Amino acid sequence: MPEVDEYGTVSPHTIIRQHLDYGHWYDRNRLTLKDIHNCQYLSCMNPTSGSFTINPRLQRHFAVFAVCFPSQESLTTIYTSILQQHYANAEQKFNVSVTKVTHNIVTASLSLHSKVVQVFLPTAVKFHYIFNLRDMSNVYQGLLFSTNECLATASDVVRLWLHESHRVYGDKFTEGKGLEIQKMFIQQYFKFYL
């Protein structure tokens, strides 16, 4: 976010508001109006960092939506339905044993993700330890690239899930200790859920 000046305004916000209010900007070099047409603005704010508010004169032009993090039940439903649809694909004709482990894979993924988020917190040195749903979705993206040729049994699905989990989460770890702890988490959830 740009810095707030001494009058309590932010220059880039003021320029955007001027365009939204009047439909033009002033060209300071030529001293003429610049009309701008067919332009839409889309913005988002991160509620966990930076400034939490913008000027109300600018905010009035936007529809404001606050989206909370989905609950465990919602995430389970979303990811289970995604995997079930992939494994129920008539063209692929996956084995029935593959579809039976769908719920276990989702439960293990959610548990692994929540444990990694709790244990590996970002620090000044490890500022990249930020884990969100994008990481878990990357695991599922790898699972969705699978075909019936590579997933013949339930153990193949589990091995693919282990590989994708290690690839997605392991890429962010910079030390051998982090990788060892992550392997321990994966083995723990592998034994417990699958």
- pLDDT value at 9 more than 80: no
The overall average pLDDT reported for the chain is 83
Average pLDDT (11-38) is 86
- Write down the pTM of the prediction: 0.67
CA distance 45 to 64: 10
Mean pLDDT of 163-181: 78
**What integer pLDDT is reported at residue 193 of this predicted model?**
53
Spatial distance between the Cα atoms of 34 and 36, rounded to a whole number of angstroms: 6
Q: Nearest to residue 116, comparing CAs of 192, 185, 174?
A: 185
Least trusted range by pLDDT, from 13-17, 172-176, 187-191: 187-191
User: Quick count: other Cβ atoms within 10 Å of Cβ 166?
Assistant: 16
Domains, the chain: 11-59 (no CATH), 72-193 (1.20.920.30)
pLDDT per position as a tens digit, 89-136: 878 888 888 888 889 899 988 988 888 888 888 877 777 788 888 999
Q: d(Cα 147, Cα 131) in Å, to the nearest integer?
A: 28
- As a whole number of angstroms, the distance between CA 194 and CA 180 comes to 20
Mean pLDDT, residues 85-89 taken together: 89
Decide: helix, strand or coil at residue 13: helix
Place of tokens 């209010």: 21
Look at residues 13, 108, 122, 26 and name the one whose alpha carbon lies nearest to residue 57: 13
Report whether pLDDT(194) > 80: no
* pLDDT (mean) for 133-150: 91
Give CA separation, 42 vs 20, 58, 59, 63, 65, in Å.
12, 12, 12, 10, 12
Most confident of 45-49, 66-70, 72-76, 170-174: 72-76
pLDDT reported for residue 85: 92
